[in-house]
Structure 1
Amino acid sequence: MTDDLVVMLTALNPEYEAVRNRLENLRPHRHDRGTRFEVGTVRGTSCRVALALTGKGNHSAAVLAERAISHFSPDALMFVGVAGALWGTPLGDVVFATHVYAYHGGTSEDDGLKARPRTWETSHEVAQIAQHVARIRDWTRDVPDGTNAHFGLIAAGEIVQNSTISAEARWIRDHFNDALAIEMEAAGVAQAGHLNGAHVAIVRGISDQADGTKNSAADRNWQPRAAANAAAFATHLATELLKEGEHVTMRNSNASGGPRTVHISGTGTVGMQAGTITGSTVVQNVSSRSEGAPDFATELSRLRRDLEREHSRGQLDDDTYEDVRCQLDIADKAIASDTPEGRKTFVLALKRLGGLISELAGPAAKIAALVAVAKGLL
């Protein structure tokens, strides 16, 4: 599937229900390997959401996130649920992750355990949109008065943290004292997003203080409330993310001072999505679909040369450029297959590529135009 939508994943059933309660027109959707999604729209909007339950832990979250990205090619991937506060963030408040720590990484040496965490940073574009959502406060209409959104680091580990005096609590305090909340899935989701060039957003409601009160009556009371608050913020964020996506090509094409002409050579009937090419001129040498598809291979070759130049100019670092080449190779192979599945893989590879080079206005505009044309052929 390549229709514009946002994937939302949750670990627990109360979190799933909190998101589901904010959706309408739901229908079941089954992945070939048995994963069950529900696809619907955020109430009162046209924002489409695919919702699934991952279960607990970074590993299962990573696998399901990878599966969702490959299957839906979403505009963004979100993980929504509850978390424990580390330094007194109020119960019920929402934390949006600007960074994610995988805090259990380390090396054991004679003088003790040395921290070797992994860290992922939320993309600038997604973080800016989240700040906008928090600022205008429309999301608070359906949550208790006084509920606030916080922005900061979230620590994701492999254990349920339920103490302020344990060895693990001291470890977190010594090495990760800038984290606002702690949970068990964000690192897996962040890694899956990184490997696929996908936008990732982690949204957590504070249900406890990670202080020994988990599984208490208070925790059972706060968990559904915190999940509902996180779902309110997440669904408003999803709506804004899709609105932003509708204008990405216009933004990129105007960055250099005017409309950009993108030539798609070859023959074939192509469908263009309204909004995705606003501000650009797309020249298509087409006749009918029966005479063949547009020459995507030629456009990929031109794009490959453009990105090689950007790398030689220092605009792409070596690691990113290797990822870029990998996605171009996948796109080349996919489009050569000339099958519906190949075209879906082609679109997904282009979306990943667009995420990797989003700061390069010219190539990003070309990729967005290619995606729009390819979607019209699916």
Structure 2
Amino acid sequence: MPCAVIITAIRLEYEAVCRHISNLKEETYKGMVYGRGRFFANGNWWTVGIVETGAGNVNAGLKAERAIAYFQPNVILFVGVAGGIKDVKLGDVVAATKVYGYESGKETDSNFQTRPEVGRSTNDLVERAKAEARKSDWLKRLKSIEKSKQDIVADPKVYVEPIASGEKVIASKESPLYQFIRNSYNDAIAVEMEGRGVLEAAYANQQVSAIVIRGISDLLVGKGEADAAGSQEIAALRASAFAFEVLSKLEPNPVLKIGSITLLTTIVVSIIRLLGVFQPLELLYFDQMVRMQGSQDSDERLVIVEITEENINKYAEEYAKQNKQSNKSGPDATHNKQNNIYQYNPGASLPDQIIEKLLRKLLDKKTTVIGLDIYRPYDNKLKSLADEFKKKGTEIVFICKFPDAENKTSGQNPPPDVSVDERVGLSDFIDDYDGITRRQIIRMGTNSNEYEHKKSKCKPFDYQKTPMESFSFKVTQKYLYATNQRKYEIIQNLDKNSRIYHEKDKNKIELQPLDQNVKGGYHLKEIGGFHILLRYRFAKKGNEKYSVRNIAHKTYSVDDVLNSDSSSDFNKLDLKDKIVLIGTPVESYDNIVPTPFSDEGQNSPVYGLYIQGQMISQLVSAALDQKPLLKAGTLDKEILLIFIFSLIGSILAQLFKESLKTLVIIVSANFFAYYLFCLVMFFQFHTWLSLISPVAGLLLASGSMTILVDMKFILRKNNS
């Protein structure tokens, strides 16, 4: 906020100044008692310091110097009364261009030789005083004066001329001193006792603009009568009215105003950003960029086997017939245990014998990794089957699900007797406030304090220290190891401090976890584990439309696999070095997951099976193909961007304040340029930068400056 110090000599002058300021309070500094208040005009708030110095240039100069040191003002105005020498009448106002120190000189035997010391008001204030003297706007500030007193000295004029200053009170035009001033300083139109000292203090502080403004309270004759009639009060009120009119038209240092608007805007926008207000718009923008990536090829390493609704109905009917023929009833009964490993329990999508047959078919094709993305009851014979497959070069990864205390669900336990650390991955997804999945879990710690988590078996052996790995990460690690590639390295065991990276041919890709600083446009209150941004593949297979469902190179049903023969497409497929995902994309068996591509048509929300495929593909492609992962901008750099764009907005509004249309065009161009910059960062450097908060800084700063300009225009128009 800009600051002005107003110097007065006597109480009457001090009180006249106080009429124009608000929130007046006392402050002390080195034995001095100051008044401090605020003055608002034309869109600017000024801090105003008031000093009463007493009579004399020495006093005025000394106390003005102290006031400058204390208030560090931009402007100093001396406001008070003076005696008129020539050309003026009672109640007129004089703004001094310069102040002669008439007592400076040399006294000889014959005469006094003048060596005048001249204090000059600064040019900016002199020019502003001249401009205001040509107008009558300042008279509107006199409405608080009683009309009876206005009648005493009507129709005041303002002169911008030199005045004289000394230590003597001149009360007669017949005095030798008066004649001396008239002869030696014949352009001075008024005389007073403090202005020279104030301008000396201002001269010693070059950063301060200064001017002396005096109201004519007497004409050096009939001084007592004039004072008794209230001329001093009228003169002080008019001098202060004109002084504040000059002050109101001053433009504070634009650097100070730009800095203030920039800092305030940065603070406001940063607070709004930290409260999460911008997150919905940021995520909409993120989804737009994801959709703009264009189509990509499906992942040739990935094959999906779907347990379709037709498969479920078909094998349920066949199982019912077998039960009836063997005099067994209901799906709770057990098959011939010599031919079947598992029970066909309620809720299972397929009979146990079909699942085993499917797995063995994939084993025969030398599949590298099988991911079983299905929830079903298992008995304790599954471990031996998994061990058998591993010996033959095929890894099987199962899923489990954490309990959800908020939604009061108990989760899903892993198969019994299967090592969770070795063969089970967490199937949970992280969805945002709008239900869309944009992030991928890598590792997540269990909440050992929750009762349901204590009962759940979906946790690693040392769950208090070791986070649970996700299904997609577990499948990826198994695949990399089975194909003789380096696995992702995990440094430090504690989840919040862990680093996960993959290195191939001296190229290093590190997974960047989202956290309280690395968040892009997210508002993340709590970070539940190690998770990264999910970069979807939008792929096309054959004549199908582009979709996130088409992540896998090939997709088969259970019947396609079990009924394949030498001429079938599945039989021709080489599954060596392939990942096969088995899942049930049926509403009652799998989650329906909205994505950034979701709409009402082809890209409606998809089943979790395909999302797992997207996540596995992202990790494997990053490790083996060096396909870049999405990174998120950091909060500290985002706040820096908010500051930069707030500064740009403030500067632009200052530069183009006379043309709103031009300002709108330039600000729009800056917005568009930053929008393109964010796109370049996303597509070329794979980094998601926040768009909304820096743009909010740009708009708020430029808008605030524009409102101030408009307010000044309106106020000036109302005052005219």
Task: Give me the TM-score of the superposition, normalised by structure 2.
Answer: 0.34
DSSP-derived class of the 2:54 partner: coil
Distance 2:166 2:70 in 1: 27
* 1:39 Cα deviation after fit: 1.1
Amino acid in structure 2 at the alignment position of 1:37: Y
DSSP-derived class of the 1:203 partner: strand
Map 1:151-230; keep pairs closer than 5 Å. Answer: 151-197=160-206, 198-211=208-221, 213-216=222-225, 218-230=227-239
Report which of the two structures shows the higher radius of gyration computed on alpha carbons. Answer: 2
DSSP-derived class of the 1:69 partner: helix
1:135 alignment partner in structure 2: 134
Task: Choose the corresponding residue for 1:41, options 26, 38, 43.
Answer: 38
Of 272-281 and 50-59, deviating more is 272-281
* 1:201 Cα deviation after fit: 1.0
Q: 2:4 aligned with 1:6, yes or no?
A: yes
C-alpha spacing 1:161/1:35, structure 2 compared with 1 (3 Å): same
8 Å CA contact retained: 2:38, 2:48? yes
1:15 alignment partner in structure 2: 13
* 1:137 Cα deviation after fit: 2.3
Map 1:1-378; keep pairs closer than 5 Å. Answer: 3-31=1-29, 33-42=30-39, 46-143=45-142, 144=150, 146-197=155-206, 198-211=208-221, 213-216=222-225, 218-241=227-250, 243-246=251-254, 278=651
Amino acid in structure 2 at the alignment position of 1:166: S
Deviations 1:186-238 (A, max 9, x none): 01001111111121110000000012x22335555100001000010111112
Distance 1:177 1:132 in 2: 24
Amino acid in structure 2 at the alignment position of 1:148: K
Distance 1:25 1:95 in 2: 29
* 1:248 Cα deviation after fit: 8.7
8 Å CA contact retained: 1:22, 1:43? no
C-alpha spacing 1:63/1:277, structure 2 compared with 1 (3 Å): farther
DSSP-derived class of the 2:249 partner: helix
Of 107-116 and 59-68, deviating more is 107-116
Distance 1:275 1:205 in 2: 44
C-alpha spacing 1:274/1:111, structure 2 compared with 1 (3 Å): farther
User: Of the two structures, which has the highest relative contact order with CA contacts closer than 8 Å and spacing of 6 or more?
Assistant: 1
Distance 2:137 2:211 in 1: 18
Deviations 1:2-25 (A, max 9, x none): x52100010011100000111111
8 Å CA contact retained: 2:2, 2:252? no
8 Å CA contact retained: 1:249, 1:280? no
Distance 2:66 2:15 in 1: 21
Deviations 1:236-268 (A, max 9, x none): 112222x24337999xxxxxxxxxxxxxxxxxx
C-alpha spacing 1:168/1:48, structure 2 compared with 1 (3 Å): same
Amino acid in structure 2 at the alignment position of 1:202: V
C-alpha spacing 1:275/1:117, structure 2 compared with 1 (3 Å): farther
8 Å CA contact retained: 1:208, 1:219? no
Task: Give me the TM-score of the superposition, normalised by structure 1.
Answer: 0.63
* 1:106 Cα deviation after fit: 1.2
* 1:175 Cα deviation after fit: 0.2
DSSP-derived class of the 2:80 partner: strand
DSSP-derived class of the 1:179 partner: coil
Deviations 1:143-181 (A, max 9, x none): 355121101001010100111011111111110111011
8 Å CA contact retained: 2:8, 2:79? yes
* 1:102 Cα deviation after fit: 0.5
DSSP-derived class of the 1:159 partner: coil
Distance 1:78 1:70 in 2: 15
DSSP-derived class of the 2:190 partner: strand
Deviations 1:113-141 (A, max 9, x none): 11111012222211111122223321111
8 Å CA contact retained: 1:10, 1:80? yes
Identity rate, percent: 33
Amino acid in structure 1 at the alignment position of 2:253: G
* 1:275 Cα deviation after fit: 11
Deviations 1:61-109 (A, max 9, x none): 0011100111111011111010000014010010000011001011012
* 1:43 Cα deviation after fit: 5.8
DSSP-derived class of the 2:204 partner: helix
Of 13-22 and 145-154, deviating more is 145-154
C-alpha spacing 1:99/1:224, structure 2 compared with 1 (3 Å): same
8 Å CA contact retained: 1:25, 1:41? yes
* 1:110 Cα deviation after fit: 2.6
Distance 1:112 1:277 in 2: 61
Deviations 1:272-328 (A, max 9, x none): 9989973699xxxxxxxxxxxxxxxxxxxxxxxxxxxxxxxxxxxxxxxxxxxxxxx
Question: Would you say how many aligned residue pairs link Structure 1 and Structure 2?
Answer: 258
Distance 1:139 1:249 in 2: 25
DSSP-derived class of the 2:224 partner: coil
DSSP-derived class of the 1:230 partner: helix
1:354 alignment partner in structure 2: none
Amino acid in structure 2 at the alignment position of 1:29: E
DSSP-derived class of the 2:230 partner: helix
DSSP-derived class of the 2:134 partner: helix
What is the root-mean-square deviation of aligned Cα atoms in Å?
2.8
C-alpha spacing 1:140/1:99, structure 2 compared with 1 (3 Å): same
8 Å CA contact retained: 1:99, 1:120? yes
Distance 1:51 1:215 in 2: 28
DSSP-derived class of the 2:223 partner: coil
